[in-house]
């Protein structure tokens, strides 16, 4: 891979910082509970590959010999795939101790899966949560419960194929800050190179960024659907504009990634968490840029990712789970984890992985939560909303009618 972004050396000051934070963490947590014999806990997740950072974190934890053995159980590649298996385990009285759970499932995790309030597991819960940024803790707070540890945070960013960008005669030092700046450049890239210039994800997450950056919301603070506001309509009109102009070719996320990695696409907008995977499979220069906002409107980008929910019911399993979570909060574990491309949710000052600076800058600007779909039919509401977004993108309805349709359908489901 030839990338312009060279890997930065970790400075001595940074290394000392990490070491110092590690000592501080150890002091904060104090003594650990004694486990009479090795207690095994199942960690259910969706990350494939023996060398995936999730596996590295689990191996590093087990190497500490704390008396708790964490067993990695990758039971699917989506939250929707691993959740029913966890439910079956809970119903059978053998829940996994910990499960990676998408932000959007936070309400479901609390009300249906019975995720434990981290502060109520042992005495170290508060100290553990103190290791994370307040903004991240807010994302896992449902009502008065902290339903997990904010483990993985991502945000939408642009991935730019710099070879195509240059070939189109575009200035490599002038990556767009607004979509009004991006779209003419994307059109130029397509015209000059003959390649597909832009692909957006068609889901609920990226459109949420457009709605928010236009000044609207999907759900308001009271959890009511407001995705048909004038601002939201403007945001989604901006979202579909490149498709209407003929330089966004609609593809699924996997198709988009596959095409981008072969060098056939100029720019894609996707999760910052895909950075390591995208780079590993590409042989051209890739630059990550902040997701462009909308001209003249305040930026308000959203986040995504997952948290580690404790589903264990037995006290010893819960305490063992807390032991693992305490390790996850250390600089050592988080440094391993950040290799994924997810953003640092802790207070530790860790080196920013090379090339991820724009995503971190976006995080520093402040990120809102991914939409959490409330109520027992929240997941159905999520699907309905995605379907309406898809109808809009595919031109089967106008933006206004589509968002109105989404609001009506979602209202019925979460009322």
Residue 41 CB partners (closer than 8 Å, separation 6+): 68, 69, 70, 71, 96, 97, 98, 312, 317, 320, 321, 324
- Residues paired with 158 in a beta bridge: 269, 289
Beta-sheet strand order (sheet of 98-102): 68-74, 39-45, 98-102, 304-310, 149-154
CB of 207 vs another protein, minimal distance in Å:
14
State how far the Cα of 166 lies from the Cα of 168, in Å rounded to an integer: 5
- Closest approach, Cβ 250 to another protein, in A, equals 5
Among 163, 224, 357, 387, binds another protein (CB under 8 A): 387
Binding mask 241-280 for another protein (x = CB under 8 A): --------xxxx-xxx-xx--x-xx---------------
Q: Which of 100, 107, 154, 196 binds another protein (CB under 8 A)?
A: 196
Under DSSP, the state recorded for 287 is: E
Q: What minimum distance in Å lies between the beta carbon of 367 and another protein?
A: 26
Helices (H), 267-398: 275-280, 315-328, 331-337, 357-365, 378-393
In the bound state with another protein, the residue whose beta carbon lies nearer, of 5 and 258, is 258
Long-range pairs for 346-352 at CB < 8 Å and ≥24 separation?
A: 346/131, 346/132, 346/133, 346/136, 347/130, 347/131, 347/132, 347/133, 348/18, 348/21, 348/25, 348/131, 349/14, 349/17, 349/18, 349/21, 350/14, 350/18, 351/8, 351/10, 351/14, 351/18, 352/8
Residues in 341-380 that interact with another protein by CB under 8 A? 377, 379-380
Site for another protein in 26-65 (CB under 8 A): none
Nearer to another protein among residue 181 and residue 380 (C-beta): 380
Residue number with CB closer to another protein (40 or 252) = 252
Q: Could you please report the per-residue DSSP string of 10-76? A: PPHHHHHHHHHHHHHHHHHH-SPPPPSSPEEEEEEE---STTSHHHHHHHHHHHT--SEEEEEEE--
Mapping DSSP to helix (H, G, I), strand (E, B) and coil, where does residue 189 land? helix
265/336 with CB nearer another protein = 265
Task: Please give the size of the binding site for another protein, defined by CB under 8 A.
Answer: 35
The backbone region for 154, taken as left when phi is positive above 0, alpha when psi lies in -120 to 50, beta otherwise, is: beta
Instruction: Pick the closer one to another protein by CB: 358 or 378.
Output: 378
Q: Read off the DSSP letter of residue 351.
A: P
Least distance CB 93 / another protein (angstroms): 11
- Residue 8's CB is within 10 A of a number of other CB atoms, namely 13
Cβ-based nearer residue to another protein, 212 or 270: 270
390 touching another protein, by CB under 8 A: yes
Site for another protein in 84-143 (CB under 8 A): 84, 87, 90-91, 108, 112-114
CB-wise, 211 or 379, nearer to another protein? 379
Is the Cβ of residue 113 or residue 275 nearer to another protein in the bound state? Answer: 113
* Minimum distance from residue 188 beta carbon to another protein (Å): 19
Task: From 198, 172, 223, 203, select the one nearest 393 (Cα to Cα).
Answer: 203
Task: Indicate the residue among 167 and 386 with the shorter CB distance to another protein.
Answer: 386
- Residue from the set 7, 19, 38, 80 that interacts with another protein by CB under 8 A: 80
Please state the closest distance from residue 396 (CB atom) to another protein, in A. 7
CA-based radius of gyration for the chain: 22
Name the minimum Å distance from CB 259 to another protein.
4
DSSP label of 284: S
Q: Least distance in Å: CB of 196 to another protein?
A: 5
**Closest separation in Å from C-beta 270 to another protein:** 15
CB-nearer residue toward another protein: 220 or 281: 281
Helix (H) / strand (E) containing 129? helix 125-129
Q: Single out the segment in contact with another protein by CB under 8 A; choices: 120-128, 165-173, 233-241, 386-394.
A: 386-394
CB of 256 to another protein, least distance (A): 8
Residues that bind another protein (CB under 8 A): 80, 83-84, 87, 90-91, 108, 112-114, 196, 199, 202, 249-252, 254-256, 258-259, 262, 264-265, 377, 379-380, 383, 387-388, 390-391, 394, 396
């Amino acid at each position: 891979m030839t990338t312009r972004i060279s890997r930065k050396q970790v400075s001595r000051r940074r290394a000392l910082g990490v070491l110092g934070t590690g000592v501080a963490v150890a002091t904060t947590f104090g003594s650990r509970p004694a486990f009479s014999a090795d207690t095994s806990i199942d960690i259910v997740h969706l990350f494939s590959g023996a060398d995936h950072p999730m596996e590295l974190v689990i191996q590093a934890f087990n190497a500490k010999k704390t008396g708790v053995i964490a067993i990695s159980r990758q039971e699917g590649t989506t939250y929707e795939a691993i959740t029913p298996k966890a439910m079956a385990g809970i119903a059978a009285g053998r829940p996994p101790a910990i499960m990676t759970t998408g932000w959007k499932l936070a309400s479901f995790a609390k009300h249906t899966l019975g995720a434990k309030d981290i502060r109520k597991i042992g005495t170290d819960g508060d100290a553990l949560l103190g290791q994370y940024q307040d903004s991240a803790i807010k994302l896992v707070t449902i009502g008065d419960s902290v339903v997990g540890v904010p483990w993985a945070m991502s945000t939408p960013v642009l991935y730019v194929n710099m070879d195509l960008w240059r070939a189109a005669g575009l200035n490599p030092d002038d990556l767009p800050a607004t979509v009004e700046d991006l779209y003419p450049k994307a059109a130029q890239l397509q015209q000059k190179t003959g390649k597909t210039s832009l692909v957006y994800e068609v889901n609920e997450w990226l459109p949420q960024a457009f709605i928010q950056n236009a000044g609207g919301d999907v759900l308001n603070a009271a959890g009511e659907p407001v995705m048909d506001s004038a601002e939201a309509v403007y945001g989604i009109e901006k979202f579909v504009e490149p498709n209407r102009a003929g330089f966004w070719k609609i593809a699924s996320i996997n198709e988009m990634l596959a095409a981008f990695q072969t060098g056939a696409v100029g720019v894609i907008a996707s999760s910052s968490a895909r950075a390591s995977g995208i780079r590993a499979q590409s042989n051209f220069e890739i630059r990550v840029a902040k997701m462009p906002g909308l001209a003249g409107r305040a930026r308000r980008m959203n986040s995504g990712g997952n948290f580690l929910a404790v589903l264990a019911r037995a006290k010893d399993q819960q305490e063992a789970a807390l032991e693992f979570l305490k390790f996850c909060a250390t600089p050592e574990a988080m440094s391993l984890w950040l290799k994924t491309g997810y953003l640092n949710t802790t207070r530790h000052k860790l080196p920013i992985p090379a090339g991820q600076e724009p995503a971190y800058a976006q995080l520093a600007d402040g990120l809102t939560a991914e939409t959490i779909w409330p109520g027992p039919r929240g997941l159905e509401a999520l699907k309905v909303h995605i379907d309406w977004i898809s109808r809009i993108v595919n031109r089967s309805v106008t933006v206004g009618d589509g968002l109105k349709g989404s609001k009506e359908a979602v209202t019925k489901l979460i009322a």
